[in-house]
Each structure stands twice: as structure tokens, then as C-alpha cells.
Structure 1
Amino acid sequence: MHDRSMSRGSTSRGFRSRRSVTALALALTAPLLTVPLTATDATAITAPVALTADDLPTWQTNGIVHALAQADGTVFAGGTFSAIRPAGAAAGDPAEQQAVNFAAFDAATGAPTGCTLSFTVGEGVATVRALDVSPDGQTLYAGGYFGAVNGVGVNSLAAIDIDTCTPNPDFHPAVTATVRALDVTDSTVYLGGDFGTVNGQTRERFAAVDTAGALTAWTANADEPGRAVEVAADGQHVVIGGDFFTVNGANSHALAVTDATTGAVTTAYPSGFFPNNSVVKDITADTSGVYTASEGTGGGVFDGRAAFEPDTFAQRWRDTCLGATQALQLYQGVVYSASHAHDCSTMGSFPDGQRRHLLAQTTADPALLGWVPDTNDGIGEGIGPRVFALAPKDGTDYLWVGGEFTTVDGTPQQALTRFASGPDTGAPTVPQVKVESIEADKVAVHWRSSFDTDDSRLTYRVYKDGGSTPVYEVTGDSLPWSRPQITWTDPAVAAGETHSYRISASDGTNTSARSAAQSVTVASAADAYAAAVRGDGAGLYWRFNETANAYAADSSGADDSGVHWNAPTQAVADGAAGSGSSVGYTGSQSEWTYTDKRHATPSAYSLELWFKTTTTTGGKLIGFANKVQLTSTSYDKHLYLNNAGRLYFGVYTGTVRTINTTQSFNDGAWHHVVATQGSGGLRLYVDGTLRASNALVTTSENRSGFWRVGGDNLDSWPSRPTSRYYTGLIDEVAVYGSALTASQVTSHYATGTAP
């Protein structure tokens, strides 16, 4: 649950009008202007996000923070730890202070206050699992597994007088096991956990006591642990969550709505609404609705967030990200979440790969927003962040985050961090730039969109020849997992001239450094090979002549850029088709190149590249797959070498179908390969000559995915090589949305090998 007292004297629960923010791929054509363009700056922070992602200096614990609450600018933290220390300090630092499972901090400074409480137990390990503040801000309620607070005997539930920072000796309801969740009204303390009795009476996993500790009539007996409890905005209902399958005998799995007085189930969610292997870990609510966080184990789980209407409790939306959501916080129309989300591909967002621990969505729409600070998984269960509290002080709202993480945005910081409603001080990343002149009298300036952890709309400024005034300005959308290429063609150049370009990115308040200057001499004639590739309709064309960074520029005009994963060797001074350089792959299982964009399955396509190798362990040259940073589980439409150096081209139609060469091509020379599929079936060309075909195979697996170069899964495919990953050079990669003809292939080879 989440503390209601934060709204006193604060507008932190107000809501902005809905505005969806998505990452859009951009294909921008330069206007024929020789004067600087002006554009409206992106404005930090990109609405509807209203919190920065700049982590503020905050004291740390030496263990796990399971619970947070706040009152009047003081933040209370509970968990399993024994000491606290300053931001930036290592464990054992001389400034470290004893703190037995509890600490209190100034919301605005992150430093400890004078409130010290010790939560202990005679047997086992004491822990604080839930904290909540009474609506009048006078009392802090704590739940967990403990037998005393500052020596005052209690039974896993305690009341603390906030003004004096002392336990109330008259409040000691007898709870027989761990309390995991609390929500408090003016008259009632609702609790959930592992217990079976309270004050000697049967209350299975959920109960309610009054502010004196006496048991109330509210009864919501569940068959499995309770993990969340939240009073709905109408005050007439209490929403409960956990592992359970029945509540008061009613079939309701993981979530149920109960009458706030009696506990009778008013809305049930029978098994199947949430998968049986998923539970609800957190619930929060306001007048806009009820929002839940789920965690699952095994296949087919629901790990994401769901929104429910405030009156009918019918589901409004559900996201399908995978990665164990632990906590939610509402703020100005946005649902902030703590998880270790690693796969949001079913929502059209990032595929399975890097874990992202802090995300945001609007209350009206599950699409992910541009607020993405991050932690690591940390210690304990390796969950990462576990709990939120929103604490206003002196006109600023602070979002506190607790958990078991040990880093925040790559910097050591354990168990606690915080963010604020302002000011935004973080600049976007520096744009990665590629400049080229492959058409007569033209310079194309390509760059990979920057990213900013709280600004998804950025303004880019292009500076030419060392000038201090930008010659071009444009605004574009991006997210850390979707950084589309932007291209500007400079209209004010002439053949033979040499020009240099630098680019900065701004969020409207903070501006990145300018990129390193890149120079180019303007061509007097088109590059013949590039003209052939572009002229025949390539929708992806990586020339692989960048010298650094993870960016592979697309020269096709479609701005379908690539990302080098784990640094294959760039700028190898040995290129095909007159390019002058290529990329080298070492056969490592952690190195390849993938498209930034997700693609629908093409009905007709061509794959083209040049390769040079002496490998005897084979490997994949290019293929279509469902993952970008991990080994794919869906993979076809690929070209690979077997150990003998023979080329295979295959698709999956429900059955693996391949064609292959009988000649080996691991002879250390450059070779041109084109694989096509369309109405004419499969065709495989090497060095301008058709080497294999099958006219009957005209379809492939119908899944969206990403193009990958340099390696990926090849399990269960014919003549599977020793290695999935290619060792050698690759250059001039192109993908087309049609099947090239034999004459086009022959022409490309001839042009690429011409002096």
C-alpha cells in the first residue's frame, strides 16, 4: 500500500490531462535552406512525467529496505538491516550509524533525523515489512516479524508516536505471524500477511484492528498469504492482494474487493483472471482507479501492472511486461513502478534482454513513458527496488525508493535512493554521428538519437565547420530501448569541399556536449556500389565504416540503424566494394549487431552482404530473430556457414527448409552473398552466380523480430556449425523488401568488384 498522509498540504496527487508518449522512428528530409532553422525546444521534463530521474544524495542501509512511509517531510524506512551510512560511503565507513531494521530521514536532504527505533525478536531474524501513517500524521504503524520495539513488547504490529518517536505501549494486538501489508484510516488499521489468528480469534491472512488494537468485525479469510491491502478512494471498499485462491470461501485468486466494514467479497477475480502462478505484490488507489503490481513464477505468468475502474473495479488495462513488479506509486496521473522488467515485447516495447527496474505509465494507458532511472538487482532475492514513498517538503515532492539494490544508475548506492519533482539537471547523452557523401554534391549527416532518463523528446542542433550557430534544428522522440536514426542532408555544399559537423542534444533545460567533429569531402559523383544498393530499394544498408561507438548508420534512406552489441571490432582497414573498412567478429557468444527497430515478417525480401573468413567453426552471418541482447528462441530467414565453409540459407515454415552451396567459401577472400525469398521461392547467390534454389518454399515463420548480423541461435538446423557466432569480416549489409532479380545480383557483384 501507499501512505495517504502525503496529500496533506500537497498537490502531489493531482492529475494532468492524459498525453501518450511513444518513441517514433523518424525519417527527416532536410529543407533547402541555407539559414539556421529554429524549432520549439523539447521541454524538460517530458509530460506527463513530472518527476526527474536524477538520483539525489541519500543515506544508505547495509541490508534490504522492505517498507517506506512518510509524514510531514520525514521518511521512515523499515526492513532487514543493522546500520545506515552516508551517500557515497562504503560499508563500515566511520560515519556509519547503528539502525536496527528502522531509520528515519529528512525527505529533502536524505540525511537521518533524530528518530531511532530498534525492532528486535527473541528467535529468528527480525524484519519490518510494512509501514503506514495515520491520516492525522500523528502515528506510524509498523508491521513485520518482531517481538519488541525499543524493548517494548509487541507481536509483529506496533504503533509509534511520531512526535516523540516512541512506541505506544497500549497498542499491542497479538498477531501470530509476519505482517506484510498495512493501510490505515482514521479508525481502522487493515493488515495482511502470513498469520492465522489475531487477538486469539481466527483471522486468516487478513484482519483489521481499531486504533486501540481491538479486533474489528472485518473478516476476509484467505487460504494463502496476504501481501497487499488498500482502502479504495470511496472508503467503502478494501482491496486485498496476495497468493490466495479463495477469500471467505469465494473463488478469487490474487485479488479481491471487500466491504470495508464486514470483509464480505463484493468483487471476485476467479482463477484464470490472473494466472495461477502469479500473485499480487502491491496495490495503490486514488479517485482515478485501483492499480495492482504482480509477480509470477514459471511460464505463462503475469508479471506486470493492471488498472481497474474506481467504481466498478472492472479492469481498464493490463500491461504484459515480464519481470516481477513489486511496488507502485501514483503521481500526477502517472503510475510509477518498481520491478526488474526484462521483456515488454508483447506490448511493442523492448524485447527480452536488459533488466529495467523503474518504469512509468499513465493511469489511462499502459504504454511505457520516458522515465527510466535504473538500479541493479542487488542482494537477497535479486529483485532490485521493492517499495516507494512520495514525500512533499518545502514545495518539492520527493519519490523515495527502497529495496535490495546496490547501485543506482551505475553508481554504488545501497537500498535507498530518491528523485524529485525538480529541478531537472541531467543532460541527454551525446549524439552518435556518421557523416558521408555518397551522392554527388550532397552530404548526409546521420545520428543515433540520444536518450535522457526523464525526457523522451529531445531537440538536436547541428553545427557546421566549427560554427557557434546551429545550421539545423529538429526535435525527435526516443527511449533508451528505441533510439531511431535521424538524417539531415546538408543543402549548402559543393563537390570537392570539405566540411565538418557536430551535434548536441537538449531537453530544453540541459544540453549535452557536442559530438566530436566528423569531416567529409563532398563527392563529385555518386558512389557506384551504394547507388546500386539504394537504387534497387534497400530498406536497411549498413556500410560499416564507423570508427567507434555502438552505432551502425543506415545509408538506405529508411533510417534503420543498427546497434553493435559488446563491441565487435570496427574500422578494420579491409573493406569490400570499395568501402575501405569493415567490422570484425571474433566468434564470441556476446558480440553481434542488431536492428534498433522491430520489423514485421516480410513476405518477400533479400539479404545481401560481403564476408571474408578462414573460420572452420562456421557461424551465422545474418538472420531474423526475436531477441536483440540474448540468444533468440525464434530464429529463421538466415544465412550461415557450416564448419566446412559452405553457405546455408533457411526458413522455418513449421518445418526447417534450407538450401546450400556445395562449394566452401572460407578461403580468406571477400565474397558477395545474396539470399532471396518471394514468389519464386528460395534463392542463394554467391559472387553473382545462383548456387542453390528451391521454388516451392515461399513462406517463413510469421513473427515480428529484428535483423541480427554476426551470430545467433542455430540449434536444430542442418549441418549446424560448431559455433553459432561467426569469426571474420562483414561489410556492406543490406536488406530489401523484395526479391532481387538475378540481373540485379550480378550487377551488384560486378559493381562491387570493379576497379
Structure 2
Amino acid sequence: MNESTGRRRAGRGRVRAASAALCLLAGALAATAVGASPAASLTPPVSLTADNLSTWQTNGIVWSMAATGGVVYTGGTFSTVRPPGAAAGTSEQPAVNFAAFDAATGAPTGCSLSFTLSSGTATVRALALSPDNTTLYAGGQFGAVNGVGVSNIAAIDTATCTPRQDFKVAVSATVRALSVTDDTVYLGGDFNTVAGQTRNKFAAVTTGAQLKPWTANTDEVGRAVQVTPDGQHVLIGGDFFTVNGTTSHALAVVDATTGAITKSYPGFIPNTSTVQDLTTDATGFYTANEGTGGGVFDGRIALNLSNFEQRWRDTCLGATQAVLVHDGVLYSGSHAHDCSSMGEFPDQPRKHLLAQSVNDPKLLPWFPDTNDGIGEPVGPRVMAQTDQGGHHYLWVGGEFTTVNGAAQQGLTRFADGPDTGAPWVPNVSLSTVAPGKVEVNWQTSFDTDDGELTYRIYKDGASTPVYTTTGYSVFWDRPQLRWTDTDVAPGETHTYRISASDGTNTSAKSPAQTATVASEAESYPARVLADGASLYWRYDEGTSTFAADTGTGLDNGFLRNSPAYRQTPAAVSGPSTAIGFNGTTQYAYSNERHAQPTKFSVETWIKTTTTRGGKIIGFGNLTMQNSNQYDKHVYMRNDGRLIFGVYSGGTRTITTSGAYNDGAWHHVVATQGSSGMALYVDGQLRASNILYTANENYNGYWRVGGDNLSSWPNRPTSDFFAGQIDETAVYPTALSSSTISAHYALRAGG
């Protein structure tokens, strides 16, 4: 059920995804060393590591950057800088809205400037270098540089780090964007007059400070300006709806000499969205977009310079503030929180730094992160890049106060090496359902700058792996892999450990997991698998966040907020254990995002004495928070009765007459298909309705232990289930009553 069609707004914008196709192992493999191509430390085309380098900090927001020759100039709204690792208020040096840094060391250079305003708060919102790098142009809201009077724009001699006395232009309000050619400075912002003449939001002046006749008047704020590489056109972006009286919202291409429109974009970007930044490479230009309210566009657009038409756009939600191209990759600063509309991660905590190929919007495996920080807050605001000492550096500035989980304010930087971050330690689970073999299952790991990782399995303490393979994973999609050891005999006990490597860095080996080889098949799980379970979680893990899928679907579960592992006695006889949920925060969700199942069965065992009810199993569209579309679920009322519900033009439910919160294990199966809905408990049909054959159509995840129940009949006190759960299975069919009864009869292994 979609409780609310509205989405949570992120900052001033809106911010899973179909699993990546993986080649998984089929059948049993002999326990001999198998070669696999090792992973590279970075997954091409990414060429920058996600490991942030030691960098000085500011005590406020960095809004602007320009870089060249190993020097990075930064401007914003701050008053001091301090060393990396220093807490706010300690070891500070004055830096009034401006600071320059060595790109390779992250430390300040000798260039010190003070941008001030006689009344109000001064800020430097734009920085741009002349093509010969001899002059740094600064724009913002300020009235003086080092005491020399100016009016919201200034030119700095980079050799002496002093303001040029021969560049004085009166701009009536804040300058937010600059782009410079050999003879022209283009500016955008809030102003309506430049040098005493009307120029609405955009203008051009010579490098000698003379106003040019170039006119690209807009009705709302200009936020971005970029000259095309051939120098023939100027790209402008902002909040505007018209350019020189012609409808073109947020983006336009104008002639570099006259300002006349070359390409307008009516209806191209929603009226609720704006362009915050623009960047170019040899063949394209790229927009950073921010939206407010419903129906917004917050992502990035790639357009061709040859015809100014769209190449691609992404539809992530979470306003983009900055874009930059390096080596065929578009790096961006945003607070993206929902990229499900383009097959990537679902709505969840914000991610602030992303990468995409300039030819494809698919997210690349590069995921350093900041927090939102101060100000609005939205995290990163600006990017710049330069080479120094044989390395390439990407600098990021903004509002953030942490980087990769550690305290770091205002500034951070990344380079093309060395890569020092190791992948996460793999989560491992063993299965001995079938006789004469051990199935080693593991959840693929996560590395912040490499998607393709190499896994090595070590058996019985040996130093040489018995098996090596590779697998692809990103933070929201960590598919399960499996290797079957057949070089074992019934009754033997073996231990297994796995490491993950990015080609340069290798994780620690996982904690040793031990299994005793079965001499005959376990009857209950064998029947579940034989009856076609597409997902089957037995909850036999120890302390990982991983619920292994015992079936062929390899649709592993993520366990959230540390449920109680290895609960005994389990629901079914044998070596298996159950898992316990606390009824407030703990749950599990499937790794794979599924299309709407038109027919299905969900099966699980429960044991509880709760009087607060809660969702036991269901289908929802989100993973890291409560879903806003949710149905195909079984939940318990406060009085212990069970409800099976789907949404089809309204909530459709069936309810048991008996209560099942008596502290005993109960087998629960809900089915829907062409014969309607049915709810079975302990092998018997307890409720049904032949009319309800449909459910809500959306992509989602199977969730166990809790999710949203808002607006559902007899909603319990808690959305989360307090009790033990075991042997959860999902089927792509409506199981028959005889099959369900047979499953229940096998609970004691008979």
C-alpha cells in the first residue's frame, strides 16, 4: 500500500535497485585451487581512489574553487583555517573568506587575501582563472580585498597574490558564477546592473574591466556560466524561466559574442528544479540540478556539444550541487538518497559523492562520503582538480564536517593513488542440507572504489586457498556467492575462512566457520527446496549482518540492527537455529529488488508472547527505513491473531480466528494466486477469500521482522515483531494445501 504519494524532501531537493547481473557458479565444484583474474585496485573507468587525503580545514562553508599548477584557491564564508585533525577552535589561522592550498600536501600556501564587507556577511561564491593562469577572478558579495575597494568582483594577480588595481567593475549584487577567456570575463548572479548599465543576472566584461555589449538577460538568478571549449558559445544555468524574453528554464546556450540564444530548453527541466553548476569536456557539457517540492529533478544531465541535445540524464533524488569531469568520468557532489528510478539504490541515508561515465548514467563504484554538515545543509558544494608531483588531485569543498566517517570540515581531496582502503571482511555462512558436501555461502563485500573484488577461500587453516573467484558488488547490492566443497566425507568437520581483495589491498580473513558434513539430507529443508523456494533463509549465521539463502536463488538477506542470532530450540529439528527480533528496530530485507509477484507464497515459523503485534513478513519498496509502498504481508494483531493482506484498490485482508502469541512455534504460510488468498497456520487453512487475486504493482524487497503498517486494518501497536522467526521461504507460486501440510509434518524431521 502506498500510504503517501509524497516523498521525503532532502535539503532543497528530492532525492535500488535491480541487481547487477552476475555470473554465479552452477553446480558442485571440486575443492581444488581454481584460478581467477585478480581484481584491479580501481574499477575502470574510475581512476581516483575514494581514500581522502590529509587536508587543512575551514571553520565555515567553502562555496568556490579554482585550481592550477598544483595550487587550489578556495573561497566561501569562513574566517579561519586549521590543520587536519584539529578540532574547531584550535590551531586556527586567519583566512577571511579565502585561502590557497598546495594541492599535493593539503597545506596553505603563502597566498593570503581578506574579502570583507562594511555591513553584512561577506562571501566568495565564484573563482575562475584566466587561461594563462596569471589572474584569479573572484565573485561574491564583498566590498574590499585586502582593504582595496571593489564591488562584488575582483581580479587577483596570482604571482604576487594581490588585487589588481586596474580591474574595477561595479556589480550591483552577488556574483555567483564566473568563466574566463583570453579577453572576456562572463559572470552570473543576482545583479541587475553592471558598470551602471542594465544587465539582468548575466553579463560580460573585458579583462580590462570594460562592460561588453553581450546581453543574456534572465528573469531569475544566474548560478552557473561556462564557455564552451571552442569559445563560440556560453552555457548559462540558474533559476530563470526566460532568456532575452525567450522561454528557457534553468538552462540555455547563447552566443559568446552577442548573448543571443543558440539553444533554448523550454520544458526540458521541471519548473521546480534549477541548474546549480555546469562543466564541460571535449565533447559534452553536464548540469548539476536541484529541485524543491513535488515532481522535481535533482540529478545530472549530459548533453552533446555538437548539437546541444541530451546524451543522458539520471533521476537520482537529492540535489546536485557540483560536477566535474576527469578521465571520462563525471564526478558529482550531491546529497543523493534515492536512485531507484534509474535502477540503483533505494531511498536511504544520503550519499554525497558519486561517479558516472560521461557516456552512461549508471553509477560507478566510487563512494567516498561526507555528511550534510552546516548551512542548509547539503554536504559538498564545489569541486576542482589539478596535477602536482605526478599525481592528479580532486578537491571538494562544501558544508560538510566529516569525510569518510572522520571529522573534517569544509575541504577534502582525493588522488589517483595510492589506494589504501581494503574491502570489508566477507560475511560467511555454511550449509550442510545435502549429504556429502558443504556449501560455503558468502555475502560479497564492499570497497569504496572498486566493484570487482577477488575472493579466496581457505579450508582447515591452510595458508593456500582452495578456491578463488571474483564478484561484483556495490553498497546497496551485495549478491551472495557460493562454492560447494565436495572433497569431504560424512561425519567430518571442516572450517572455512574467506578474504576479499581489490587487487592491492586485502581484507582480513573472515572468522572461521565450522560445519559437520551430513550423511543424509535434512528432510524439511530438502522439501522446501524441492518445492521451488526462490528465497530460503534458515538464520544459521552467528554474528554477521547476513542471512544466507540456502536455495538456488542466492537472494541473501541483510540483517539490520543486530537481531539475536542462534536462538534454540529452532522450529525444525536438526542443526539449524532461529533468530530473534526485538519488536522495535530489528528486521531483515532481501538483497534483490523484485518485480511485483502476481502469484506467490510466503512461509515462515514464529514464536512469540508479544501483545504489541507487528509485521512478520511482507513486501516493501524500501530497505533502510520503513517503506511507503507495502503489502503482500502477514502481521500479528495485539491479540495474537494473524492477518494476511494485499493492496488492490484498497486494503484486502483475511484474519485467523485463533491467536498465536502463546510462546509456541507456529508454521505460517500465506498464498495468493488465481484462487485468491489463503492463510495457513500449523498445516491447516485458517482463513481465505477467493475474490482477492491481485496485489499492488511496484518493485520491492522481501522484508522479515518489521515494516510500515500505517492505514492497515487492526494495526497493532508496533510495526515490528518481537519474537523468534525461523525457516523463512518465498515461492513464485501459490503452494497447495497438501504441500503446506507436508511441510508442517516434517517439522520433527519425520
TM-score by length of structure 2 reads 0.96
In structure 1, the residue corresponding to 2:361 is in which secondary structure?
coil
Aligned to 1:419: 414
* Aligned mates of 1:546, 1:334 — CA distance in 2: 39
Aligned to 2:32: 35
* Aligned mates of 2:597, 2:370 — CA distance in 1: 37
Matched, 1:517 2:502: no
Q: Which moved further from structure 2: 443-452 or 23-32?
A: 23-32
Aligned to 1:604: 599
* Aligned mates of 1:609, 1:739 — CA distance in 2: 15
* Aligned mates of 1:366, 1:495 — CA distance in 2: 51
Unmatched runs of 5 consecutive residues or more in structure 2: 1-17
Q: Shift of the alpha carbon at 1:30? A: 5.6
Matched, 1:90 2:87: yes
In structure 1, the residue corresponding to 2:26 is in which secondary structure?
coil
Structure 1, residues 176-203: CA drift from partner, whole Å, max 9, x if none?
1111111111111111110110000001
Q: Shift of the alpha carbon at 1:754? A: 4.6
* CA 88–306 in structure 1, closer or farther in 2 if over 3 Å, else same: same
Structure 1, residues 425-459: CA drift from partner, whole Å, max 9, x if none?
21111111111211101101111101111101011
Aligned to 1:356: 351
In structure 2, the residue corresponding to 1:438 is in which secondary structure?
coil
Match of 1:383 among 374, 378, 381: 378
Q: Shift of the alpha carbon at 1:508? A: 1.1
Assess if the C-alpha contact under 8 Å between 1:288 and 1:363 holds in 2: no
Which amino acid in 1 is paired with 2:449?
Answer: D
Paired residues in the alignment total 732
In structure 2, the residue corresponding to 1:744 is in which secondary structure?
helix
Matches for 1:485-634 after TM superposition, within 5 Å: 485-578=480-573, 580-588=576-584, 590-634=585-629
Which amino acid in 2 is paired with 1:548?
Answer: T
Q: Shift of the alpha carbon at 1:26? A: 5.0
Q: Shift of the alpha carbon at 1:31? A: 5.5
Matched, 1:53 2:53: no
Unmatched runs of 5 consecutive residues or more in structure 1: 1-20
Aligned to 1:239: 235
* Aligned mates of 2:484, 2:672 — CA distance in 1: 33
* Aligned mates of 2:692, 2:465 — CA distance in 1: 52
Which amino acid in 2 is paired with 1:517?
Answer: A
Matched, 1:118 2:114: yes
Match of 1:257 among 249, 253, 258: 253
Assess if the C-alpha contact under 8 Å between 2:221 and 2:238 holds in 1: yes
* Aligned mates of 1:82, 1:510 — CA distance in 2: 39
Q: Shift of the alpha carbon at 1:491? A: 1.8
Match of 1:638 among 625, 633, 642: 633
Stretches of 4+ aligned residues off by more than 4 angstroms: none
Aligned to 1:138: 134
In structure 1, the residue corresponding to 2:363 is in which secondary structure?
coil
Which amino acid in 2 is paired with 1:146?
Answer: F
TM-score by length of structure 1 reads 0.96
* Aligned mates of 1:748, 1:26 — CA distance in 2: 32
Matches for 1:269-348 after TM superposition, within 5 Å: 269-270=265-266, 272-348=267-343
Aligned to 2:211: 215
Aligned to 1:199: 195
Aligned to 2:398: 403
* CA 706–22 in structure 1, closer or farther in 2 if over 3 Å, else same: closer
Assess if the C-alpha contact under 8 Å between 2:29 and 2:483 holds in 1: no
In structure 2, the residue corresponding to 1:290 is in which secondary structure?
strand
* Aligned mates of 2:476, 2:207 — CA distance in 1: 48
Structure 1, residues 61-90: CA drift from partner, whole Å, max 9, x if none?
111110111121000111111111111111
* Aligned mates of 1:624, 1:580 — CA distance in 2: 25
In structure 2, the residue corresponding to 1:752 is in which secondary structure?
coil
Aligned to 2:740: 745
* Aligned mates of 1:720, 1:613 — CA distance in 2: 18
Q: Shift of the alpha carbon at 1:369? A: 0.5
Q: Shift of the alpha carbon at 1:569? A: 2.1
In structure 2, the residue corresponding to 1:519 is in which secondary structure?
strand
Q: Shift of the alpha carbon at 1:218? A: 1.1
Which amino acid in 1 is paired with 2:149?
Answer: G
Assess if the C-alpha contact under 8 Å between 1:30 and 1:491 holds in 2: no
Assess if the C-alpha contact under 8 Å between 1:24 and 1:484 holds in 2: no
Structure 1, residues 116-159: CA drift from partner, whole Å, max 9, x if none?
00010001100111111111011111111110110011111011
Matched, 1:704 2:699: yes
Match of 1:654 among 638, 649, 657: 649
* Aligned mates of 2:463, 2:736 — CA distance in 1: 49
Match of 1:225 among 203, 221, 224: 221
Which amino acid in 2 is paired with 1:463?
Answer: Y
Aligned to 2:8: none
* Aligned mates of 1:65, 1:105 — CA distance in 2: 13
Matched, 1:162 2:161: no
* Aligned mates of 1:288, 1:583 — CA distance in 2: 55
Assess if the C-alpha contact under 8 Å between 2:547 and 2:556 holds in 1: yes
* Aligned mates of 2:21, 2:41 — CA distance in 1: 18
Which amino acid in 1 is paired with 2:175?
Answer: V
Q: Shift of the alpha carbon at 1:398? A: 0.2
Aligned to 1:16: none
CA RMSD of aligned residues (A): 1.3
* Aligned mates of 1:218, 1:159 — CA distance in 2: 20
Aligned to 1:77: 74
Which amino acid in 1 is paired with 2:40?
Answer: T
In structure 2, the residue corresponding to 1:326 is in which secondary structure?
strand
Aligned to 1:190: 186
* Aligned mates of 2:22, 2:579 — CA distance in 1: 25
Matched, 1:172 2:162: no
* Aligned mates of 1:504, 1:288 — CA distance in 2: 42
* Aligned mates of 1:674, 1:35 — CA distance in 2: 41
In structure 2, the residue corresponding to 1:531 is in which secondary structure?
helix
* Aligned mates of 1:462, 1:273 — CA distance in 2: 52
* Aligned mates of 1:135, 1:612 — CA distance in 2: 72
* CA 26–585 in structure 1, closer or farther in 2 if over 3 Å, else same: farther
Assess if the C-alpha contact under 8 Å between 1:27 and 1:557 holds in 2: no
* Aligned mates of 1:754, 1:536 — CA distance in 2: 16
Match of 2:677 among 682, 691, 706: 682
Q: Shift of the alpha carbon at 1:565? A: 1.7
Q: Shift of the alpha carbon at 1:549? A: 2.1
* Aligned mates of 1:411, 1:166 — CA distance in 2: 35
* CA 494–585 in structure 1, closer or farther in 2 if over 3 Å, else same: same
In structure 2, the residue corresponding to 1:335 is in which secondary structure?
strand
Instruction: State the identity %.
Output: 62
* Aligned mates of 2:571, 2:725 — CA distance in 1: 8
